[in-house]
């Protein structure tokens, strides 16, 4: 399910929310940045929009959380700050394929770096929290973690499980997949760079053309990719 937060008591003015959503929908959706070098998402999740707005206009409505998904949390503003404070433990990036590794590894403690949202230290054991004034990342990161680890995405019928089954089958069918793939990460043959002509901007390496999906990669893009390959297969030799 979509992560929820306590709604701000601003019933007389909801125009901000529709305006924010509309401005995001107006972004160019003809091209998908899948190089893994950019942001984790182009469109901010509605729950994060609400959290940001509440923090700016009615912070008293937000509830500070120090745990999520059975783990104790410590939020940091960025990766540098987190790595300065927490040393010697495994860290993960914040793209879907990296979170799939986190879920599979199921470590007792770890750092996860969620780009512009900030970084999280997670532990199954209670930790002494760093005290001080709460900032936006203290509120927004637990909400995002709830979503990033949710059955909505990773359960048997979750988005990334279903997407991965279709994409893995698709790339294997056309002989494009040349290394092990993971949900949200597809190392294709270099010849697949032609997909950039259709808006799928991946990462070209010496041996592969990688597609690294962002959190908001939509079903419409998956369908477009299926149609493009069916029309112009260009199978790898």
* Sequential pLDDT tens for the chain (237 residues): 444 444 444 444 567 666 766 666 666 567 899 999 999 998 888 888 888 888 888 888 888 888 887 899 999 999 999 999 999 999 999 999 999 999 999 999 999 999 999 999 999 988 766 656 789 999 999 999 999 999 999 999 999 999 999 999 999 999 999 999 999 999 999 999 999 999 999 999 999 999 999 999 999 999 999 999 998 866 554
Helix (H) or strand (E) holding 120: strand 119-123
* Cα gap 8→149, rounded to integer Å: 25
Which ranges constitute the DSSP H helices of 31-181?
46-57, 79-85, 96-105, 136-148, 151-154, 159-173
In whole angstroms, what is the distance from residue 140 CA to residue 47 CA? Answer: 9
CB 94 within 8 A of CB 40: yes
CA 57, CA 10: separation in Å to the nearest integer? 9
């Amino acid at each position: 399910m979509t992560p929820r937060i306590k709604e701000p008591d601003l019933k007389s003015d909801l125009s901000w929310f529709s305006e924010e959503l509309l401005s995001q929908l107006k972004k160019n959706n003809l091209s998908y940045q899948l190089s893994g070098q950019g942001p984790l998402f182009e469109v901010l999740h509605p729950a994060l929009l609400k959290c940001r707005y509440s923090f700016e206009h009615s912070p008293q409505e937000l509830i500070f959380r120090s745990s999520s998904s059975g783990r104790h949390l410590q939020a940091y503003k960025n990766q540098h700050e987190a790595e300065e404070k927490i040393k010697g433990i495994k860290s993960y990036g914040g793209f879907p394929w990296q979170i799939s590794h986190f879920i599979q590894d199921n470590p007792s403690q770890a750092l996860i770096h969620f780009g512009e949202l900030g970084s999280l230290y997670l532990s199954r054991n209670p930790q002494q929290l760093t005290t001080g004034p709460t900032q936006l990342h203290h509120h927004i990161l637990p909400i995002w973690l709830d979503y990033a680890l949710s059955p909505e995405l990773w359960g048997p019928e979750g988005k990334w499980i279903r997407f991965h089954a279709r994409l893995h089958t698709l790339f294997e069918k056309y002989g494009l997949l040349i290394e092990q793939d993971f949900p949200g990460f597809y190392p294709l043959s270099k010849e697949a760079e032609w997909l950039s002509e259709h808006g799928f901007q991946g990462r070209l390496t010496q041996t592969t053309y990688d597609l690294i999906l962002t959190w908001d990669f939509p079903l419409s893009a998956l369908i477009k990719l299926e149609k493009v390959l069916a029309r112009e297969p260009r199978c790898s030799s």
